């Protein structure tokens, strides 16, 4: 483990995470390793111990702007999973989430900016030709995005967002493209056809979930810093019940600071006792990186998953083959 140098964006993120009620349990830290930036243990951790807890109210999903009257895009309970014919890997709810994050980023919103600005930036312009350069960062996702952003449906859907975010077309498209790759590669399904977090069931969207075919994608700050590994995963995600949540609140190493978060961030209908936790699946010594199998949420072939999310493959697999197979499957729908 290599200690990272001072980074004001990361420091802002850490302060923001504490104010949002995210608890690190004083056992993990941000550092750099062979996979780049990640989360590492600072003390030994026993199997099944919770190493990170995130209140559901501190996550990002389309529930964040359910009551934001000025936001131009609305997501009705019965259509959040509506497929988009002009963007093959997005549903309406996920598109709206990316649009909301894009608008908040361009507005430099203080309730979301510490998280958004700490995300890695890897592109200078959406005009860079990812279609002819599949080895560029997130080459497949960028290819999908660049094709979809040329459609008249995308242009029409984002016209009001440009005005709302006080930006112009090129600026908005660049930010949207970047945040699209971030959301697609970092989100987890808070709810899907297989079920999910029980707190979602109590929302108006949860009551209509049986009539929606899509997943409810959710960005979980700090958890999304955990890097992917399939065979070597040493932590997993859990959705604890109220009894465990009470223990989390009671034994939190640092009590969340009460702050007045505006309605465009805080989720008013979600219980403050609803958490997403990261547990150790084995005994972890100090100084090792936390790794999680994100493909457990998708069930792709490893080549396809690695190509999509720009994750290095294990030795012996061809990254090029994975990229081509993914493109083929996307075309087949």
What was the pLDDT predicted at 228?
A: 85
What was the pLDDT predicted at 80?
A: 79
Q: What is the torsion angle, in degrees rounded to the nearest 10, for the CA atoms of residue 89, residue 91, residue 93 and residue 99?
A: 50
Number of domains within the chain:
2
Q: Are both 136 and 269 inside the same structural domain?
A: no
Task: Indicate the average pLDDT of the chain.
Answer: 75
Domain that holds residue 3: 1-56+227-299
**329 closest CA partner among 305, 313, 309:** 305
127 in a structural domain: yes
Q: Are both 24 and 167 inside the same structural domain?
A: no
Q: Are both 5 and 106 inside the same structural domain?
A: no
**Chain centroid to CA 103: how far?**
16
**50 closest CA partner among 308, 315, 284:** 284
- The answer, yes or no, to whether residue 256 has pLDDT greater than 50, is no
pLDDT 10s digits, 58-110: 888 887 787 788 899 988 877 777 889 999 989 898 999 999 999 999 999 88
Instruction: Band the pLDDT of 217: cuts 50, 70, 90.
Output: confident
Q: Are 92 and 80 in contact (CB under 8 A)?
A: yes
What was the pLDDT predicted at 261?
A: 39
- Using DSSP, state whether 103 is helix, strand or coil: helix
332 in a structural domain: no
- The answer, yes or no, to whether residue 129 has pLDDT greater than 60, is no
- Over residues 287-297, the mean pLDDT reads 87
Q: Are both 134 and 261 inside the same structural domain?
A: no
* Number of neighbours of residue 106 by Cβ within 10 angstroms: 21
Q: Are both 260 and 205 inside the same structural domain?
A: no
36 token code pair: 């780049």
Q: Are both 213 and 82 inside the same structural domain?
A: yes
Q: Are both 138 and 194 inside the same structural domain?
A: yes
201 token code pair: 């069931």
CATH code, 21: 2.170.270.10
Q: Are both 179 and 239 inside the same structural domain?
A: no
φ/ψ (deg, to 5) at 264: -80, 5
What was the pLDDT predicted at 44?
A: 92
Q: Are both 79 and 212 inside the same structural domain?
A: yes
- The answer, yes or no, to whether residue 13 has pLDDT greater than 80, is yes
Give the C-alpha separation, 151 to 94, whole Å: 18
Instruction: Band the pLDDT of 270: cuts 50, 70, 90.
Output: low
199 token code pair: 């707190």
Instruction: Band the pLDDT of 301: cuts 50, 70, 90.
Output: confident
**Chain centroid to CA 66: how far?**
18
What was the pLDDT predicted at 185?
A: 83
* Number of neighbours of residue 34 by Cβ within 10 angstroms: 9
What was the pLDDT predicted at 76?
A: 80
Instruction: Band the pLDDT of 259: cuts 50, 70, 90.
Output: very low
Could you identify the residue written with the tokens 């951790």? 45
| Among candidate residues 169, 199, 219, the one where a domain is terminated | 219
Q: Are both 142 and 239 inside the same structural domain?
A: no
Give the C-alpha separation, 132 to 84, whole Å: 24
Give the C-alpha separation, 222 to 21, whole Å: 12
331 in a structural domain: no
């Amino acid at each position: 483990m290599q200690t990272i140098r001072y980074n004001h964006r990361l420091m802002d993120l850490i302060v923001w995470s504490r104010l949002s009620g995210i608890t690190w349990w004083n056992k993990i830290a941000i550092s750099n390793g062979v996979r780049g930036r990640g989360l590492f243990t600072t003390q030994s951790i026993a199997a099944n111990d919770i190493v990170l807890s995130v209140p559901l109210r501190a996550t990002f999903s389309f529930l964040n702007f359910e009551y934001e009257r000025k936001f131009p895009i609305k997501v009705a309970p019965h259509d959040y999973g509506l497929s988009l014919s002009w963007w093959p890997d997005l549903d309406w709810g996920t598109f709206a989430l990316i649009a909301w994050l894009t608008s908040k980023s361009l507005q430099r919103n203080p309730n979301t900016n510490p998280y958004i600005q700490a995300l890695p930036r890897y592109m200078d312009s959406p005009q860079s030709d990812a279609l002819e350069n599949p080895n560029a960062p997130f080459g497949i996702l960028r290819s999908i995005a660049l094709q979809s952003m040329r459609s008249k449906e995308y242009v029409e859907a984002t016209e009001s967002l440009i005005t709302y975010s006080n930006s112009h077309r090129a600026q908005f498209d660049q930010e949207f493209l970047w945040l699209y790759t971030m959301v697609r590669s970092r989100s987890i399904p808070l709810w899907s056809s297989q079920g999910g977090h029980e707190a979602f069931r109590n929302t108006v969207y949860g009551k209509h979930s049986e009539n929606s075919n899509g997943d409810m994608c959710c960005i979980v700050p700090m958890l999304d810093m955990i890097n992917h590994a399939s065979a070597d995963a040493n932590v997993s995600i859990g959705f604890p019940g109220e009894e465990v949540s009470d223990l989390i609140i009671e034994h939190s190493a640092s009590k969340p600071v009460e702050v007045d978060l505006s309605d465009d961030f805080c989720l008013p209908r979600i219980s403050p006792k609803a958490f997403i936790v990261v547990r150790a699946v084995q005994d972890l010594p100090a100084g090792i990186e936390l790794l999680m199998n994100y493909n457990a949420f998708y069930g792709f072939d490893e080549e396809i998953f690695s190509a999509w999310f720009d994750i290095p493959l294990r030795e012996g697999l061809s990254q090029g083959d994975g990229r081509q197979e993914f493109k083929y499957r996307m075309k087949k729908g």
